[in-house]
Structure 1
Amino acid sequence: MKKLIIAGANGFLARYLTRYFTERGWVVVGLARHRDGMGPQCRYVHWDGASLGDWADEIDGADVLVNLAGRSVNCRYNKANKRAIIDSRVNSTRVIGEAIANCAQPPELWINSSTATIYRHAEDRPQSDSGEIGQGFSVEVAKAWEEAFFSAHVPGRVRKLAIRTSMVLADEPGTVYRYLYQLARFGLGGKVGSGRQMVSWIHIHDFCRAIDWLIEHDEISGPVNVTSPDPLCNAELMRRFRRHSGTAIGLPATKWMAEIGAFLLRTETELILKSRWVVPTRLLEHGFVFKHPEMEPWNWQK
Structure 2
Amino acid sequence: MQRSRIAVAGASGLIGGALVRSLKADGHEVVRLVRRAARAEDEVCWDPEARYVDAAGLAGCDVLVNLAGAGVGDRRWTDEYKERIRNGRVLGTAALAEAIAGLENGPRVFVNGSAMGIYGETGDRAVDESAPPGRGFLPELCVEWEAAAAPAQEAGVRTVFTRTGLVVSGQGGAWGRLFPLFKAGLGGRMGDGRQYWSYISLHDEVAAIRYLIDTDGLSGPFNLTAPNPLTNREITAAMGRVLHRPTLFAVPAQVLRTVLGEMAGDVLGSARVLPKRLLESGFTFTYPEIEQAIRAAL
TM-score by length of 1: 0.90
Residue in 1 aligned with 2:168?
169
* CA contact 1:228–1:294 (8 Å) conserved in 2: yes
SS of the residue corresponding to residue 105 of structure 1 reads: coil
Q: Go from structure 1 to structure 2 and tell me whether the alpha carbon gap of 1:273 and 1:301 turns closer, same or farther (over 3 Å shift).
A: closer
Deviations 1:91-112 (A, max 9, x none): 1111111211221112110011
Which of 199, 202, 205 in structure 2 is aligned with 1:201? 199
Q: Does 1:46 align with 2:45?
A: yes
Q: Go from structure 1 to structure 2 and tell me whether the alpha carbon gap of 1:153 and 1:126 turns closer, same or farther (over 3 Å shift).
A: closer
Please state how far the C-alpha of 1:132 moved relative to its aligned partner: 3.2
- One-letter amino acid of the structure 2 residue matched with residue 15 of structure 1: G
Residue in 2 aligned with 1:182?
180
Q: Go from structure 1 to structure 2 and tell me whether the alpha carbon gap of 1:153 and 1:233 turns closer, same or farther (over 3 Å shift).
A: closer
Taking the aligned partners of 2:294 and 2:145, their CA distance within structure 1 comes to 35
Which of 283, 287, 297 in structure 1 is aligned with 2:278? 283
Taking the aligned partners of 1:77 and 1:117, their CA distance within structure 2 comes to 15
Deviations 1:276-302 (A, max 9, x none): 111100011111110001111553255
* CA contact 2:51–2:94 (8 Å) conserved in 1: no
- One-letter amino acid of the structure 1 residue matched with residue 72 of structure 2: V
Q: Does 1:269 align with 2:264?
A: yes
Taking the aligned partners of 2:144 and 2:131, their CA distance within structure 1 comes to 17
Please state how far the C-alpha of 1:34 moved relative to its aligned partner: 5.4
Please state how far the C-alpha of 1:153 moved relative to its aligned partner: 6.2
The structure whose residues are more often helix, as a share, is 2
Residue in 1 aligned with 2:77?
77
Please state how far the C-alpha of 1:69 moved relative to its aligned partner: 1.4
- One-letter amino acid of the structure 2 residue matched with residue 163 of structure 1: T
TM-score by length of 2: 0.91
- One-letter amino acid of the structure 2 residue matched with residue 90 of structure 1: V
Please state how far the C-alpha of 1:218 moved relative to its aligned partner: 1.4
* CA contact 2:109–2:159 (8 Å) conserved in 1: yes
Which has the larger displacement, 42-51 or 247-256?
A: 42-51
Please state how far the C-alpha of 1:219 moved relative to its aligned partner: 1.7
Taking the aligned partners of 2:183 and 2:135, their CA distance within structure 1 comes to 35
Taking the aligned partners of 1:130 and 1:242, their CA distance within structure 2 comes to 35
Residue in 1 aligned with 2:257?
259
Please state how far the C-alpha of 1:124 moved relative to its aligned partner: 2.4
- One-letter amino acid of the structure 2 residue matched with residue 45 of structure 1: V
- One-letter amino acid of the structure 2 residue matched with residue 246 of structure 1: H
Can you give the 5+ residue segments of structure 1 that lack an aligned partner in the other structure? 36-41
Residue in 1 aligned with 2:110?
110
Please state how far the C-alpha of 1:213 moved relative to its aligned partner: 1.0
SS of the residue corresponding to residue 47 of structure 1 reads: strand
Please state how far the C-alpha of 1:188 moved relative to its aligned partner: 2.9
Residue in 2 aligned with 1:5?
7
Residue in 1 aligned with 2:214?
216
Q: Go from structure 1 to structure 2 and tell me whether the alpha carbon gap of 1:152 and 1:105 turns closer, same or farther (over 3 Å shift).
A: closer
Residue in 2 aligned with 1:299?
295
* CA contact 1:184–1:250 (8 Å) conserved in 2: no
* CA contact 1:117–1:139 (8 Å) conserved in 2: yes
SS of the residue corresponding to residue 223 of structure 1 reads: strand
Q: Go from structure 1 to structure 2 and tell me whether the alpha carbon gap of 1:48 and 1:61 turns closer, same or farther (over 3 Å shift).
A: same
Taking the aligned partners of 1:271 and 1:123, their CA distance within structure 2 comes to 12
Taking the aligned partners of 2:17 and 2:81, their CA distance within structure 1 comes to 25
- Runs of 4+ in structure 1 displaced over 6 angstroms? none
- One-letter amino acid of the structure 2 residue matched with residue 69 of structure 1: A
Residue in 1 aligned with 2:58?
59
Deviations 1:117-160 (A, max 9, x none): 0003112221101113210011111111011113556522x101
Taking the aligned partners of 2:153 and 2:158, their CA distance within structure 1 comes to 12
Taking the aligned partners of 1:4 and 1:84, their CA distance within structure 2 comes to 27
SS of the residue corresponding to residue 290 of structure 1 reads: coil
- One-letter amino acid of the structure 2 residue matched with residue 24 of structure 1: D
Residue in 2 aligned with 1:92?
92
SS of the residue corresponding to residue 76 of structure 1 reads: coil
